[in-house]
Each structure stands twice: as structure tokens, then as C-alpha cells.
Chain A
Amino acid sequence: MVNAQAESLFGYQPEELAGQLVEVLVPDVSRAVHAQHRATYTADPKDRPMGSRIQLSGRRRDGSTFPADISLANIDTDRGILVTAAVRDMTSRQQALEELEQANRNLESFAYSVSHDLRAPLRALSGFSAALLEECADGLGEAGRGYAERIQAASKQMATLIDDLLLLARVARAEINLQDVDLGAEVADIAGELQRGRPDRHVRFTIQQPVWVLADRDLVRTVLQNLLDNAWKFTSGRDDALIDFAAAPAADGRVCCHVRDNGAGFDSAYAAKLFQPFERLHSAREFPGTGIGLASVRQIVERHGGRTWAEGTAGAGATFYFTLRTAETI
């Protein structure tokens, strides 16, 4: 039995399919194996999507094929088991997927052009404003020198912005190579770098070690780098700065890690905005930044199937949480 929609989907006239084996609707190459599968299925029928892991195709009357999604259900009747197959033409979905992949490739080449083409004029802005300051300082006067300095600072800020945007684009398409990573060791390493960069600052780090997770090393390193850079930056006004990294088992079998600081913090009413690109809760005068770091953090953690969130109080520090898998959760 076939309904009218099935007839039109497969390109048959009304009644033309009645009495035929279902294999006429299966592409020639899979016909024999389909008959075998059908025999196995009728021996032990269960409702299920058909071949959920493989790409299925239907065969039209003219021999052409189309991508199909097929689900099976069975009804016990007095004449035996009746198996119904619902067939959906996936052509448009397939096309949409291909268009999406093309769009992603376009985005990659766009990110590449951004890297090269936007940086070159910026270097000219920075370079020639520096030349003005060095060679024509007297002629510029105090106001003129101030303007040239602003050009320098703005081009530096834009360079950081471009780099961060590129990072976000790279994170979105990077291949994920899962391996066991000790986050504690990575945190200790980054903390050492931060301290060496600013030996005059006194920051107490407490770092739980080891904290094993199953993740892409480069990408989680980027997560930790961003969170620790932030903690370092937002505690800059404190003499008793404290940065804490620790982990605890989460309810879903993952591990929940946090980076906590006692720095400037944020108003918890804005916690949801923090992870949006370009959203900033502090003025550039207070704390410089591009507003892209936490968006990259969220992107990376979500690509690992984890979650990110934050808690904070204005003037009393912030805690950033993220969950990751461990080798045991698989």
C-alpha cells in the first residue's frame, strides 16, 4: 500500500506501485542487501529510524536517486505484521548543508583576508605616526603630539581586536584533538608567565593539581589563558590579589572547574552578557580589552560539549566556571 504522496515522491502514476516489491524504490546498488535486511527485520520488527547512521537514498521511477530519511513502524494485523515506512526527501536539507559548508569556507578565507589586509594599513598608521613624533615633534606642538599618540594607541587597540576576532574564527573551525590534559599544570605555567611579565605585582595563586580532563590541549590552554589574563587584569588595583583555580566533580559526570579572583568583579545582573562578543562591563579607561576573550572561552567549551557561566559582585571579585569531560566519562 502506498499513499498518493509516496507515488508523487517516487514519480509513479496512481496504482502503478500496487503489488510491487518495496525494492523497486531502492537504488539498484543497495537492492539485494535491502531484501536481506527486510527479511531480518520482519523476523524481529522494532519501531526505529532506518539506517540512522548512514546516508539512505530512494530511487525514482526514472532511475534517479534522492537523499532520504526513512523511519519504520510495525502494526500487528490478523494477516500478519504490517510494516509502514515513512520516507522523507532530504534533498533540500542536503543542499542547505552544502551551502552552509560553503559559507564556512568563505568565512575562513574572509578571516584570512582580515588578517593580512587590515593589518597592513594599520602598520602604516602606527609607523608614520611614530615617524611624526620622532622627526617632526617640534613642529607638531603639544596638541599635535597628543593627536599622533592617540593614533598610535588606537592602531594598537585595533590590532588586538583583529587578532582576537581571528582567534574566535579559528576556534570555531579548529579541529579538536582530544587528549588527557592536566589543567592544573597549564594554569601553573600561565601563572608563571604572568608573574614573569610583571615581577612588580604581588598576586597569590592557589592552584589545584592535577586536574585531568579530556580535551584539546591548545584550545583549553586558550580558555585558561583568557580566564587568567582577565583575573590578572581585574585584580590589578589590589595589593592582596588572589587567584584561585580548582575543580570539583559535576552532576553529569564531568568535572567543573573554576577560576576565581578577588578583583573588580561585576554586577551579577549582567552575568549573561559577559560571554557575548564585544560586550564589556568595564570602560576601556578602567580595564583595556576587546570583549572577545570570553566569547572565545564559551565557544571552545561548548565545542567540547561543556557549559560556561560566571558569578560576581561589583568590587568583590568574580568566578568563572566551565565543565569538561574526563577520560572516565566516556
Chain B
Amino acid sequence: MNQRHILLVEDNPDDEALTIRAFAKNNIRNEVVVVRDGAEAIDHLLAIDRGDAPSPILILLDLKLPKVGGLEVLRRIRAGQRTRLIPVVVLTTSVEQEDILAGYNGGANAYVRKPVSFSDFAETVHTIGMFWLLLAEPPPDIILPPGPS
């Protein structure tokens, strides 16, 4: 299994704990790095884009976030040179048609509703993990041309 980390963008501490527990229960041992609001997420993305932080294998993105919303975070991911190909799974509570459309329009690779029951949630996290960490070929590392300096 690819050992690069998973980036979880999630403001709710309960959902954070449950997501990490669901990964652990499913023997997905990749490190989970958590950013807890949209502004923190964008700082983290900028660091990746500068080459100061490693690139995650997968981003799990909640849409309803404090400060900067998930859709804006998604826009910044797709705009960054080093982050634009990273698989992004929107994992959120809303199934409003508008949100689903906005998610896919923004370039999300998948839009998944967080189920309420933990057994369903664990199963969802398992399926996402199996697909993106085991089955899907990750995008090749993007080699940036040397800067003007």
C-alpha cells in the first residue's frame, strides 16, 4: 500500500476522531494529517506547492468549514501546480444537488455522503481507502521546471 499520508480537512472533532478510527479499524495505516478549517487547509496547500511539505496520496474534504469553505479549498487545490492532480474525495453531510454539482464542477474526483451510522461510515471509509490507496494508480509526481532564481 502506498505509504504517503492522507490529508483530512475536517472541522468537527467528533468526525475527525471517527474517521481516524474507521481508517484504523480497516487496517489503513497511512498517516492522517488533519487540518481543521479552510484557512489552515489553504496554508497547508501553499506549503505543498512551495515544496515545503510532502504531497498527500489523497485528500478527504468536508464542504462546510469555518473561515474558508470547502469549495474554495477545492479551487485552490486544483489551481496549485503541485496539488492539482491529487485525488480529492468530498466527504460531507449534504446531498443537496447544488453542492454535489458544485463539488464535481470544482474538480472533485468523487462526492460521498457521510453516513450517520458508524458501521456504514466505517464501510464508506474502507471503500474509499481501498480504491484510492490500493486500486487506483496515483498521478505521477509533478516535476516543476526550475524557477527563475
Contact = CB atoms under 8 A, between A and B. Distances in A.
A123 interface: yes
Given A116-B64, A116-B93, A123-B15, A131 B116 contact: no
A116 B93 CA distance: 5
Given A123-B15, A127-B18, A127-B21, A116 B117 contact: no
A123 B121 contact: yes
A226 interface: no
A161 to B, nearest CB: 11
Interface residues of A, number: 19
Contacts of A127: 14, 17-18, 21, 118, 121
A113 to B, nearest CB: 10
Among B12, B94, B117, max chain A CB count under 10 A is at: B117
A115 B92 CA distance: 11
Contacts of B116: 119, 122-123, 126, 155-156, 159
A287 interface: no
A9 to B, nearest CB: 44
A213 to B, nearest CB: 24
Contacts of B82: none
Interface string A121-141: 111101111110000000000
A330 interface: no
Contacts, number: 56
A116 B18 CA distance: 17
Contact of B117 (A112, A128, A156): A156
Contact of A119 (B17, B114, B118): B114
A152 interface: yes
A120 interface: yes
Interface string B8-23: 0000101101100100
B52 interface: no
11 contacts: A112-B96, A119-B116, A120-B12, A120-B15, A122-B116, A123-B114, A126-B117, A127-B18, A127-B118, A131-B21, A131-B118
Top-5 shortest CB links A-B: A124-B14, A159-B116, A127-B118, A130-B118, A127-B18
Interface of A: 112, 115-116, 119-124, 126-131, 152, 155-156, 159
Given A130-B118, A156-B117, 15 more contacts: A115-B96, A116-B92, A116-B94, A120-B12, A120-B14, A123-B114, A123-B115, A123-B118, A124-B14, A124-B15, A127-B18, A128-B14, A131-B21, A156-B116, A159-B117
